[in-house]
Every structure is written in structure tokens, then in C-alpha cells.
A and B are shown apart, each in its own frame.
Chain A
Amino acid sequence: MLTKRVTFGGLVLPTLLVMPQLAITLVFFVWPASQAIYQSVMQEDPFGLKREFVGLANFERLFANEAYLQSFGITAAFSLGVAALALTLALLFAAMADWLVRGARVYATLLIWPYAVAPAIAGVLWWFLLHPTTGIYAYALSRLGLDWNPLLNGTDAFVLVVVAAAWKQVSYNFVFFLAALQSIPRSLIEAAAIDGAGPARRFRTVILPLIGPTTFFLLVVNMVYAFFDTFGIVHATTGGGPGTATTILVYKVFKDGFESLDLGGSAVQSVVLMAVVIALTLAQFRFVERKIHY
């Protein structure tokens, strides 16, 4: 790994410099993670008196568990829904802002700030708007003749958390899409225009392929966001319900660990989630490796 050609000597000083970061990482990251891995391959008897090594039996049990598989399915649908909605809206807004000569900056400012809203707060805002008795959006939906009740209907509750999660993420995607669009050389667009391609066709055949890497990167980031950062949205609003309609994986780990006190089950789920993060992080690094610059 690279260092500078000119370096400073000594062993004590650099050790002291990395120590705070390393100590925190080891105590609060590496140790708990290895605990989770250890617990995931052990079986404790009901009285907590002795433990034995059971290999992958806990994992087999987990993946045979109907409720867990269901939660996996919900999470997959949830993250795809959030990513699709947030990416489409952000790309639409960014393409329009990129087209405009005047006013683009004002729109950008107005679109960017929801990034700073906490997921839990975003959840509460949409919960209020879509609440069946007090929500103004729910009232509008009922005037349109739709039967809307996220308190009772699982699909409605699912739509609510997807919209709340995507709403916040549009800002993030917009920043990256706009940067990517603005870095496309104008000469390419002009050449396509001279050849007779209109805005729609240019977008499809020239712009979209060029922002492919950014789109892929954002897709991964959005998946990570939907998988792990949306705990607050679910916890502050639906509480995983009605039934288990919005019980995403991170919510289930929390619930099984802290409310049902199923320590072993929670540890196994943690290890599965770690595998998911590692896979997504590696996917993200493939993007960085290719050294794409916006």
C-alpha cells in the first residue's frame, strides 16, 4: 500500500495516532461482530448452563423458518421498491434541471434539503399525512374512492413505508445524478442534436449509457439504505405491522433480540445481515475500482 516518499520515523508516535480509532473499532465493531458469529454457531440449553457447537444448524433452522423467509421477501420487495421509486424520481428531476439554463440552482436547493431529515422523522411525517383518521393525503385518497387504511391493510402500510423511505432518498440520488449529467461533455449532446436526435432520443441513446456507472453506484447505495437505514421509519410508524406486513430484516433482528429476547436467533440473523452488507460493499467497491469520475 502506498505511503509518501518522505515519511517520518518512529514507532511510538504512529501507534498512538492510530490507537483511538483502532481501539474503538476493536471494542465496538470487531468484538461484537465476532460475538455474533460465535453465538450463531453455538446452541445454548434452555437454562443457559452449557453451550455446544452445532455448526450451521442455527442457519438451517433460520432458513426453514416461515416468518424469516417472509421477512426476507418483504425486505427484498421493500428495497427494490425504494430504489426504483427514488432513482426514477431523482433521475427525472435531475434531467429536467440539467435541461434548464436558468433556475436549475433554485430547484436544486429546494430538492436537496430532505436529505437532512432523519428516516424516523420522514416516517412520522408520512404517517401523519396518510393516517386514516387525520391524514390529509388519506382524506384525498378516500375522496378519490380508494379504500386506504395502513393501520389495517398490510399493502397500504407497505406502500406508506416505501414512499416515506424513497422521499428522503430522492435528494441524495438527485445530487449524484445532476453531477453526472453536468459532467457529460456538451459536444456529445450537440453532435447528437445535429444528427437530428431530439431530447428524448438523446436521453435514451447518449445520456443514459453515459451515466450507467453512476446509476449502478446509486442502486447499490439505495439498497444499503433500504436494508439498514430504514429501521427508524418502520419502528416509529407501523411497528412492523399490521401483522408482519412491514417487518423488514433489521426490524426483525431488533424485535427478536430485544422484545422476544431470542439471543441465538438474533445472532444468526445478524450474521446473515453482515453477509448482505459485505456483498453490497464489495459491489460498491467494484464501482470505485473502475475510477469513474463525475
Chain B
Amino acid sequence: MVENRPAFTITAHAVLALGVAFMVAPVWLAFVASTHPGADFLSGRLPLWPGPDFVKNYGAVLSQGVSKAGAPAIAGMLANSLVMATLIAVGKIAISLLSAFAIVYFRFPFRVAAFWIIFLTLMLPVEVRILPTFEVVSQLGLLNSYAGLTVPLIASATATFLFRQFFMTLPDELAEAARIDGASAMGFFRDILLPLSRTNIAALFVILFVYGWNQYLWPLLVTSDPSYYTIVMGIQRMARAADDTPLWHLVMATTILALLPPVLVVVAMQRLFVKGLVETEK
């Protein structure tokens, strides 16, 4: 603020308060809906304050699921999502660290070619190669498995670039000193590069965990066995079924459970999250 303009400051507060209301309201109303009996808001006159059925509704979806809508218990789907998000985040970080290390600290013949092949992944999101990728995964027998859910998604150009950029900013003297002291390449990686990359790894983990948790199309393709459903893809079955039967209170309870873990991760690690977001786009 350059000059003192009380009227403008009040306007700014008002606009931001409205903005926050616009952003928060959908989730708040979903939470309210998830704590009422299903028949309470059939006409659209949703109460604005939570009702008495919090324990009942959440208990029901966690243990039994919404069987009328053909969805299994939510607890299992939450566990699958957690496994998938963690494996994707850890896998992406691990293979990107290794390949960035190879590309920056070694001179091998197909180095440039390797870099460009990794770069290609940016241009080929799952959405544009749906069918052939599905065929490959099914030929490899990876349908309905955690490997099928995660491995095809863990190649990452952005993570590799991020680590490459970071390694390029480290002084050459580090590697020089390590070599003089007789460290092997992997020793240098483990004892010097890894500890230095800690913040970057943490920031990237936040972004990638959210990315993995929120996958939708891919789990939809590779899982047909309900015991491998993830929560985000599982929810669409319910939303469609809720058109016919008054299940919205249970669907909204599921929705809240599905969005809570990644939102908590982002809120708890906001600083790292913003860092990760800005860095991966450079």
C-alpha cells in the first residue's frame, strides 16, 4: 500500500471476504449436507448449519459404503488412494533424482537423447493416449494391481527438470572435493546431493501427493475390481446414482473424506506447497 485510502482498504477486505466465501462455500455446504438425514434437503432448502447425524453418516460410509449406489466401503478406497498417492510421489521423486543425477554429473553417449525422451513425457498426458496405454498395461497383466495404478504414472519430466536445475546451481567444488576425498559417485549422491535436496524433495512431495491422490481417469481405466477402487474415481458412481435416490448426505460425506487428505497436506505445508508449485513451472 502506497497511500492511505481507508475506503479502498475496506473495499479490498470486502472483495476478499466475498472471494473466500465463494471458494469455501461449496465445501462448507457439502459438510453441512453430510451431517443431516438424507431427507432434510430434498427441495434445495439446505440448512446452513451442521445437523445431528455426523457420526451416523460418516460411520455408515466408512464401514459399509453406499451399497445402493454400488460402491464398496469408503475405508478401503481411502487406503487405496493413500497407497497410490504415496507410491506415485515417492516413485516420481526417486527416479527423477537418479536420472537428474546421471544427466548432470556424467558424460555418457546417449545423455542428450535420454534428456529429450524424458522431455517427451510433458507432451503426452494420459488423456491423449488413453486406449494404447490401456492396451499396454493390460498386455503386461497390470490391470487391477497397485503396480498398474502407479508405475505408468511415475515418469516425470517436471521433477527431473527441477532436480537438474537445482544440481546445476550447486558449486563444482562440491563434487571436486568429494572426488579428492575418494568418494564414489553414489557416495557423493547419498552423502552430499540428497541432504542438499531435502527442501526440494519435500516441496515436490506435497505437489505430487496431491497429483497422485487426485488421479481420476487412470484408476477408472485400470481398475474393475472394487477392492482396487480409489476414492476419487469411486465417487462418480455415487453422484450418478444420487440422481435417483436421496443419497446426497452419504455422497457428500464421501466427498468430504475424499478431499480432506490432500487439502490438509496443502494447508499444513503451505510454504513448501507454494515453493513446489512455483518451482516446478520454471
Contacts and interface: CB of A to CB of B under 8 A. Distances in A.
Interface of A: 1-11, 13-15, 17-18, 20-22, 24-33, 35-36, 39, 89, 92-93, 96-97, 99-101, 103, 107, 109-122, 124-129, 131, 133-136, 138-139, 142, 151, 167, 170-172, 175-176, 179, 186, 189-190, 193, 199, 217, 221, 228-229, 231-232, 235-237, 239, 250, 253-254, 257-258, 263, 266-267, 270, 273-274, 277-278, 281, 288, 294
A40 to B, nearest CB: 11
Interface string B126-163: 01111111011100000000000001101110001000
B102 A17 contact: yes
Nearest to B3: A193
A128 B252 contact: yes
Nearest to A171: B23
Nearest to B125: A228
> Chain B interface secondary structure, helix, strand, loop or mixed?
helix
A128 B109 CA distance: 56
A278 to B, nearest CB: 5
B44, B103, B122, B221 — which one has the most chain A CB atoms within 10 A of its CB? B44
Nearest to B274: A175
A50 to B, nearest CB: 19
Nearest to B21: A110
Contacts of A129: 26, 29
Nearest to B136: A32
Interface residues of B, number: 111
Nearest to A114: B23
Contacts, number: 328
Contacts of A266: 130-131
Contacts of A22: 99, 114, 117-118
B278 A89 contact: no
> Chain A interface secondary structure, helix, strand, loop or mixed?
helix
A97 B9 CA distance: 10
B1 A101 contact: yes
B20 A111 contact: yes
B20 A116 contact: no
A288 B99 CA distance: 22
A29 B112 contact: no
Interface in B172-196: 172, 175-176, 179, 185-186, 188
Contacts of A199: 5, 8
A237 B99 contact: no
Contacts of A5: 172
B51 to A, nearest CB: 14
B198 interface: no
B266 A33 contact: no
A193 B240 CA distance: 55
A33 B214 CA distance: 23
A51 to B, nearest CB: 15
Contact of A110 (B23, B186, B210): B23
A253 B255 contact: no
Contact of B128 (A114, A126, A221, A270): A270
B210 A115 contact: yes
